[in-house]
């Protein structure tokens, strides 16, 4: 099942990493994913395996103990992992975003403190922008960090924190008016605080509570939580980059690479749905022949495979653009938008190919059917991607007349 989603031009190291990850996914993830997902059970053994493979440090520079790999390598690994179980890719995604933000924006002391332990998976990252009243409109956040001597005191409620319980380092976006007079644009008065905490639920450090897991329709196994700050005291040296007022840009930078990542997840889930569909279509007989021999089903398979190929190509293009040092917000937005929409459609078609059995929890496609919608929301909804794409197009194609 390797004909689709090939990537030209990979070097030997990339090929070896990918083949190791694919092997791990086939042997250690796919056979247990659906059972664990139905039980909403955290995949502890899989996570330990990922640590051993070095995946938590894949993009962390070698000087901090990581593998120093490119965004492309990372995205291709995520694609493989999501093919096995999307929730597992969610476990490394927020970690990757926080490590990326530290690498790009952290002070030297912050990099030295966190990156080596993040590369080993000992410190695990999560990021928190969304609040109960907002997700898309990040500039409207109300959580606040107020300076008090050598510390900041944080108050506010956050929502939808992926890995909220299992992480030990959360990058939290707050409004911080200190040094920014009344009337400062909202996105210039935000700060990312690096909040260290114990993994678990309840009051995990004074002033910080992680209530229990949110019960979700899919994307199970990985914990998604609220985060409540009530007088949480954070030392000034845990302001990301050491200067307040830069949080919005830091988070947007992180989310931009996260978008390539979500696109890669869409590609992986769509590939798995295609594999399940094409396999079932050759086993199930109706009217005296395998349903794959009915043209209507062949057309479905043709459309599914074309979408898998197109999404993969756009995702690879977006990752390569970032790796080359160029701005990639347009490509990342397009890749995320297309891959998540196509993923939903390919999963839907594979579900239909399964007939009534697709509705049974015994069949893997039932899980994929509940997982695909999350990709339409995370790291910015389809509407938000289209806003980004539209704005960038008008910049590029400014009317000269
Ligand atoms: C399982 C899960 C995990 C998540 N993990 C994280 C995480 O780790 N960290 C984090 O910070 N957040 C996380 N999120 C939050 C996620 O980023 C938000 O849900 C997402 O950004 C959408 O925000 P919202 O839910 O508030 O929807 P809203 O912003 O309220 O949007 C509602 C609807 O209106 C549309 N809309 C909004 N504004 C416009 C506009 N200007 N024009 C046209 N349409 C518009 C949206 O597209 C959507 O269809 C997670 C969410 C889920 C479901």
The CATH number of residue 154's host domain is: 2.40.110.10
Residue 182: predicted pLDDT: 66
Choose the catalytic residue: 109, 379, 395, 396. 379
Question: Residue 81: which of 264, 205, 284, 225 has the closest Cα?
Answer: 264
386 and 256, same domain (yes or no): yes
Instruction: Clarify whether 182 is annotated catalytic.
Output: no
Number of domains in the chain: 3
Three-point CA angle 212, 218, 222, nearest 5°: 50
Q: What's the gap in Å between 136 CA and the centre of ligand 1?
A: 5
241 and 253, same domain (yes or no): no
pLDDT of residue 205 exceeding 90, the answer is: yes
CATH of the domain at 73: 1.10.540.10
Question: Residue 269: which of 372, 178, 386, 155 has the closest Cα?
Answer: 372
Residues 296-326: tens digit of each pLDDT: 999 999 999 999 999 999 999 999 999 999 9
For residue 207, is it within any domain? Answer: yes
303 and 214, same domain (yes or no): no
d(Cα 16, Cα 4) in Å, to the nearest integer? Answer: 18
Q: What's the gap in Å between 252 CA and the centre of ligand 1?
A: 14
For residue 6, is it within any domain? Answer: no
pLDDT of residue 179 exceeding 80, the answer is: no
Q: Helices marked H in 6-124 — which ranges?
A: 12-24, 30-39, 44-53, 71-84, 86-105, 108-119
131 and 190, same domain (yes or no): yes
Q: Is 374 in contact with 354 (CB distance < 8 Å)? A: no
Residues 269-290: tens digit of each pLDDT: 999 999 999 999 999 999 999 9
Residues 144-154: tens digit of each pLDDT: 999 999 999 99
Coil, strand, or helix at residue 98?
helix
Q: Whose CA is nearest to atom 17 of ligand 1?
A: 378
For residue 3, is it within any domain? Answer: no
Q: Is 308 in contact with 316 (CB distance < 8 Å)? A: no
Residue 181: predicted pLDDT: 64
For residue 1, is it within any domain? Answer: no
Candidate from 97, 138, 381 with most ligand 1 atoms within 8 A of CB, to mutate = 381
Pocket of ligand 1 (CB under 6 A): 94, 127-130, 134-137, 160-162, 216, 219, 224, 374, 377-378, 380-381, 383-384
Q: Is 113 in contact with 64 (CB distance < 8 Å)? A: no
d(Cα 145, Cα 193) in Å, to the nearest integer? Answer: 9
Structural domain boundaries, residue 89: 12-119
- Structure confidence at residue 9 as a pLDDT band (50, 70, 90): very high
> What's the whole-model pTM score?
0.96
Question: Residue 256: which of 140, 389, 141 has the closest Cα?
Answer: 389
264 and 234, same domain (yes or no): no
305 and 174, same domain (yes or no): no
Q: Which residues pair with 84 in a beta bridge?
A: none
Span 388-399, mean pLDDT?
A: 94
- Structure confidence at residue 106 as a pLDDT band (50, 70, 90): very high
């Amino acid at each position: 099942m390797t004909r689709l989603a090939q990537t030209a031009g990979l070097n030997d190291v990339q090929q070896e990493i990918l083949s190791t990850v694919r092997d791990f996914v086939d042997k250690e993830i796919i056979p247990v994913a659906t059972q664990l997902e139905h039980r909403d059970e955290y995949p502890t053994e899989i996570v330990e395996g990922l640590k051993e493979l070095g995946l938590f440090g894949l993009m962390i520079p070698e000087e901090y103990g990581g593998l120093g790999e490119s965004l492309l390598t990372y995205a291709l690994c995520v694609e493989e992992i999501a093919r096995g179980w999307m929730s597992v890719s969610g476990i490394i995604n927020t970690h990757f975003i926080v490590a990326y933000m530290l690498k790009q924006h952290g002070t030297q002391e912050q990099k030295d403190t966190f990156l080596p332990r993040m590369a080993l998976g000992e410190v695990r990252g999560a990021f928190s922008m969304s609040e109960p009243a907002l997700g898309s409109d990040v500039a409207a956040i109300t959580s606040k960090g107020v300076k008090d001597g050598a510390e900041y005191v944080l108050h506010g409620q956050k929502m939808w924190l992926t890995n909220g319980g299992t992480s030990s380092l959360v990058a939290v976006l707050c409004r911080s008016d200190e040094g920014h007079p009344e009337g400062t644009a909202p996105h210039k008065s935000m700060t990312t605080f690096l909040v260290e905490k114990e993994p678990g639920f309840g009051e995990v450090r004074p002033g910080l509570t992680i209530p229990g897991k949110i019960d979700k329709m899919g994307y199970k196994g990985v914990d998604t939580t609220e985060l409540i700050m009530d007088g949480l005291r954070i030392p000034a040296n845990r302001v990301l980059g050491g200067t307040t007022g830069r949080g919005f840009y830091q988070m947007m930078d992180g989310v931009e690479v996260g978008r390539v990542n979500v696109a890669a997840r869409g590609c992986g889930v769509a590939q798995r749905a295609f594999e399940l569909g094409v396999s079932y279509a050759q086993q199930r007989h109706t009217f005296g022949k395998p349903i794959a021999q009915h043209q209507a089903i062949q057309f479905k398979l043709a459309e599914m495979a074309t979408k898998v190929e197109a999404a993969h190509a756009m995702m690879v293009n977006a990752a390569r653009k970032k790796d080359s040092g160029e701005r990639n917000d347009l490509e990342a937005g397009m890749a995320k938008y297309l891959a998540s929409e196509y993923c939903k459609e390919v999963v839907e078609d594979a579900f239909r190919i399964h007939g009534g059995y697709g509705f049974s929890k015994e069949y893997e496609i039932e899980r994929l059917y509940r997982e695909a919608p999350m990709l339409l929301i995370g790291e910015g909804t389809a509407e938000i991607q289209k806003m980004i794409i539209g704005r960038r197009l008008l910049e590029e194609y400014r009317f000269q007349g």
